[in-house]
């Protein structure tokens, strides 16, 4: 006890070697005691299993079986026991095999979904595409129906008896000849036997039938436009001579310099449909010219000089081989500024006269997109398509004209 107290009271730097020595001695004694018991049993299985050093029911104190151990000495017995039953343990000191470091399972990173970004459009001006100039071609008809429209003009959208004259459903009131002497006067819904004599300005004739000429009235004409009767309009009406008495007269006769308008009018049984120095004739049907023995002229529309006339989208048939469907003359002056456009034409000596003459050069006489028919002659007119037309005069034009039968171009 005294020595223990002495040891305990030793300073720390002197106790450390002594503690180490005591631990070594104790470890050797433990090994020697266990080994002697295993050797003394002589390798008997039952004794070895009942030995205090066994703690797992069939192995020695170090986990190796001792049933075959033998020998005379402590070391030889222990050595044999060790070498037989623990062959996987090396005799000498070994460097312990380090436990493998577990390889971390690969982890697939979760995909990061980027927010979709819509790029802002970059404003770029498109380069202009050059437009190729169209090659000149024969124009298609401006109205439906294709070819041979002269048989039934309205089937192609041209005027005939079905879409001109007094509209159906209009009740007409019987009347004698009428003098239109008041400016702005309107003649509407009358069935006149005689003539209409227009002397005032801005007169309108509409929804009216006029049957005039010799045998029906006092004048040799049906509608007479006197000098100063400016801006006369005739629309949705019928103008004729008495049935069975065709006469060498004009259905509409413009004596002065005014420029009347004639639209959707059915004109027939006169030797001249419209005779005027200028004005507008549109969407009208002029047909069945007067058959008078010895007659020198039959013409759908005639101008004896002046100009400023537009003849557009009419059907004009002259069943005789005399004069023309449209004729521009120089009886009272040169012809200029006349337009003949999109008409259905057939018959006469020539289908059209272009206005050339002795009084001077023409100007701006234009024949455009007209449909010429062989209804009465294989050349449209008995002698041909056109006469008295000088294409080289300034502004004169012949373009887009074609045959009704096959839409091929019509030359001069």
Report pLDDT for 19. 54
In this prediction the pTM is: 0.67
The counts of H helices and E strands in the chain are 4, 29
Place of tokens 């007409």: 172
Report pLDDT for 258. 94
- Write out the two tokens for 58: 């069939």
Look at residues 204, 156, 137 and name the one whose alpha carbon lies nearest to residue 315: 156
- What is the per-residue pLDDT across 112-163, written as a single tens digit (0 to 9) for each? 444 444 444 443 333 333 333 333 333 444 444 589 999 999 999 999 999 9
In angstroms, the CA 275 to CA 253 distance is 5
Number of CB atoms found within 10 A of residue 205's CB: 28
- What is the per-residue pLDDT across 315-324, written as a single tens digit (0 to 9) for each? 999 999 999 9
Q: What is the pLDDT along the chain (412 residues), one digit of tens a residue?
A: 444 444 444 444 444 555 566 655 655 454 444 444 443 444 444 333 333 333 444 444 333 344 444 444 433 443 444 344 444 434 444 444 444 444 444 444 444 444 444 444 443 333 333 333 333 333 444 444 589 999 999 999 999 999 999 999 999 999 999 999 999 999 999 999 999 999 999 999 999 999 998 878 778 889 999 999 999 999 999 999 988 777 888 999 999 899 999 999 999 999 999 999 999 999 999 999 998 887 778 999 999 998 999 999 999 999 999 999 999 999 999 999 999 999 999 999 999 999 999 999 999 999 999 999 999 999 999 999 999 999 999 999 999 999 999 999 999 8
- Furthest-apart CA pair in the chain: how many Å? 182
Domain ranges of the chain: 2-85, 153-403
């Amino acid at each position: 006890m005294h020595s223990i107290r002495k040891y305990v009271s030793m300073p720390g730097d002197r106790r450390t070697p002594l503690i180490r020595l005591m631990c070594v001695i104790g470890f050797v004694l433990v090994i020697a005691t266990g080994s002697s018991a295993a050797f003394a049993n002589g390798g008997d299985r039952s004794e070895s299993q009942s030995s205090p050093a066994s703690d797992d029911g069939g192995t020695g104190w170090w986990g190796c079986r001792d049933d075959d151990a033998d020998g005379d000495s402590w070391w030889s017995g222990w050595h044999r026991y060790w070498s037989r039953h623990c062959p996987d343990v090396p005799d000498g000191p070994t460097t312990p095999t380090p436990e493998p470091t577990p390889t971390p399972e690969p982890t697939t990173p979760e995909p990061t979904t980027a927010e979709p970004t819509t790029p802002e459009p970059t404003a770029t001006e498109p380069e202009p595409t050059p437009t190729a100039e169209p090659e000149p071609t024969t124009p298609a008809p401006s109205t439906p129906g294709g070819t041979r429209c002269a048989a039934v003009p309205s089937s192609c959208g041209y005027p005939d008896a079905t879409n001109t004259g007094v509209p159906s459903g209009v009740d007409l009131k019987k009347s004698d000849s009428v003098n239109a002497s008041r400016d702005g006067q309107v003649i509407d819904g009358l069935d006149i036997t005689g003539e209409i004599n227009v002397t005032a300005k801005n007169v309108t004739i509409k929804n009216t039938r006029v049957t005039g000429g010799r045998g029906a009235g006092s004048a040799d004409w049906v509608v007479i436009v006197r000098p100063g009767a400016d801006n006369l309009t005739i629309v949705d009406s019928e103008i004729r001579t008495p049935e069975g008495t065709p006469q060498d007269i004009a259905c509409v006769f413009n004596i002065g310099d005014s420029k009347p308008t004639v639209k959707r009018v059915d004109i027939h049984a006169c030797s001249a449909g419209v005779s005027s120095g200028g004005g507008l004739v549109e969407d009208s049907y002029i047909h069945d010219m007067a058959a008078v023995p010895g007659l020198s002229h039959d013409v759908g529309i005639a101008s004896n000089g002046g100009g400023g006339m537009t003849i557009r989208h009419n059907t004009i048939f002259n069943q005789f081989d005399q004069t023309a469907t449209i004729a521009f003359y120089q009886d009272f002056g040169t012809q200029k500024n006349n337009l003949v456009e999109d008409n259905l034409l057939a018959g006469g000596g020539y289908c059209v006269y272009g206005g050339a003459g002795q009084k001077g050069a023409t100007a701006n006489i234009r024949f455009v997109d007209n449909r010429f028919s062989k209804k009465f002659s294989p050349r449209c007119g008995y002698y041909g398509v056109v006469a008295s037309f000088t294409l080289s005069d300034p502004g004169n034009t012949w373009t887009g004209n074609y045959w009704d039968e096959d839409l091929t171009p019509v030359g001069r």
